Structure 1
């Protein structure tokens, strides 16, 4: 099995490590415009060999793990170059744009739109982690448009590395992910920005910051090169979630101005229900 990873960062690199562990006969090839990433991936044993797009005709599986603004063009190029039996999948955080762009491609049946819900705030080959996907959910969109044998091949890989599968249409995926992922990153970036602008003396921030602050702004360490294109592609859904979030912040501010701390208590108490929801999700995993 010849597996090509295009984009040797956290997501692509971690997939490569898990595939290597579970499929001993797999040969892993890496493609990345950043030559340093290719060198690091070779040194870390993430891939067996460097490759180029011209080598894709021998691919069994191609995993496209690049920023979403680039992914559409790359996936089109990959589909043009792979053989008729190759599986091509992307792992981006937005699905509607890429599904629409590839809808009429002659090799649409070779493509599978996926979104593994996993990651950290770090990037690059050195951030790759084995077992990153164990117990995590993988969203698959428009599965019916992928050839059945290639669906089976993908599901075998996902099962072996320990992922749970959810099927969803691309439009619903992008709407839901705006709430549970994209808004979280915006909140983290803007909280970090607010504190940095207010506390010009960085030592004060570090001295006073506890685990709560650190965990809340953790996502602000994420790659802007990856996240700015995500916000652009999912602009409509992100704006909708932002409007609702801002309304809740403004309501909280109004309660503070009115000294209505009893209502603030009730708001927080009602929101505590999220603990039960999250605990249920973890138990299912």
Structure 2
């Protein structure tokens, strides 16, 4: 099996490493617009060789792991050049836009829309991690629109690297992911912004920051180049979640203004239920 990975950053690079380990005889090659990423991926052993776009027709599996706006343009072109037995796997964080783009493509049944729920705040080939996807969830969208034999090939890869599979339609995926991923990134970015603005006048504020602050703003180190297109593509759902989040923040502020600390306690006590929801996950 020959696997071509387009986009050799955190997700693409980590997939390449896990696939190489799970399938020792598999040939993993890579393609990236940034030649430094290609050189680094070769140096780190993430890929065995660089490939060219025109050589993608020799691959059995093509994984597209690039910013979602770029993927919209590239994936139809990849579907144009692959051979008739290959599968193209998208791993972006939004699913409805890309599924709509390819729905009329003549090779639509060779496309599989997925979203591996894994990652860190770092980017580039240096961020690639062996085992990143073990016990993580992979959302598969519109699976019935992919040819059965190609579904089987792709799912075999995901299962071999230790992922748990769930199935959703693209619209449900985008709505739910706005709450559990996109909102948390915005919250982290804006908390970081708030503290940075305060830090202009109080240089020692970061000396007082503990592990709670560090973990809360960790996502603010994520790549704006990757996240801006995600927010753009999922704008409607993201705005809805922001409105709900802002309403909750304003409610909490009102409780404080009114010295309603019984209400403050109850808000936090009720929210402690999330420990039960997330038990066994984190």
Query: CA RMSD of the aligned region, Å?
Result: 0.9
> 1:161 — aligned with what?
161
Q: Supply the distance in 1 between the matched residues of 2:281 and 2:104 (Cα, whole angstroms).
A: 37
Q: CA deviation at 1:51?
A: 1.1
Q: CA deviation at 1:160?
A: 0.5
> 1:31 — aligned with what?
31
User: Gaps spanning 5+ residues in structure 1: where?
Assistant: none
Q: Supply the distance in 1 between the matched residues of 2:178 and 2:233 (Cα, whole angstroms).
A: 11
User: Residue by residue, what CA displacement relative to the aligned partner does 1:101-144 show, whole Å, maximum 9, x if unpaired?
Assistant: 10000000000000000000000000000000000000000000
Give the TM-score taking structure 1 as reference length.
0.98
Alpha-carbon distance change, 201 to 21 in structure 1, aligned in 2, over 3 angstroms: farther
Q: CA deviation at 1:205?
A: 2.9
Q: Supply the distance in 1 between the matched residues of 2:211 and 2:130 (Cα, whole angstroms).
A: 26
Q: CA deviation at 1:52?
A: 1.1
Q: CA deviation at 1:281?
A: 3.9
Q: Supply the distance in 1 between the matched residues of 2:80 and 2:202 (Cα, whole angstroms).
A: 51
> 1:76 — aligned with what?
76
> 2:123 — aligned with what?
123
Alpha-carbon distance change, 202 to 5 in structure 1, aligned in 2, over 3 angstroms: farther
Aligned 1:222-261 pairs, distance under 5 A: 222-261=222-261
Aligned 1:57-206 pairs, distance under 5 A: 57-200=57-200, 203-206=203-206
Aligned residue pairs: how many?
A: 282
Give the TM-score taking structure 2 as reference length.
0.99
Alpha-carbon distance change, 70 to 253 in structure 1, aligned in 2, over 3 angstroms: same
Matched, 1:221 2:232: no
Q: CA deviation at 1:92?
A: 0.3
User: Residue by residue, what CA displacement relative to the aligned partner does 1:163-198 show, whole Å, maximum 9, x if unpaired?
Assistant: 000000000000000000000000000000000001
* 1:144 counterpart SS class: helix
> 2:50 — aligned with what?
50
Q: Supply the distance in 2 between the matched residues of 1:202 and 1:101 (Cα, whole angstroms).
A: 49
1:68, 1:230 within 8 Å by CA — same for their partners in 2?
A: yes
1:196, 1:202 within 8 Å by CA — same for their partners in 2?
A: no
Task: Extract structure 1 runs of 4+ deviating beyond 4 A.
Answer: none
Q: Supply the distance in 2 between the matched residues of 1:60 and 1:37 (Cα, whole angstroms).
A: 23
Q: Supply the distance in 2 between the matched residues of 1:196 and 1:262 (Cα, whole angstroms).
A: 32
User: Residue by residue, what CA displacement relative to the aligned partner does 1:41-99 show, whole Å, maximum 9, x if unpaired?
Assistant: 00000000011101011010000000000001111110000001001001000000000
> 1:21 — aligned with what?
21
User: Gaps spanning 5+ residues in structure 2: where?
Assistant: none
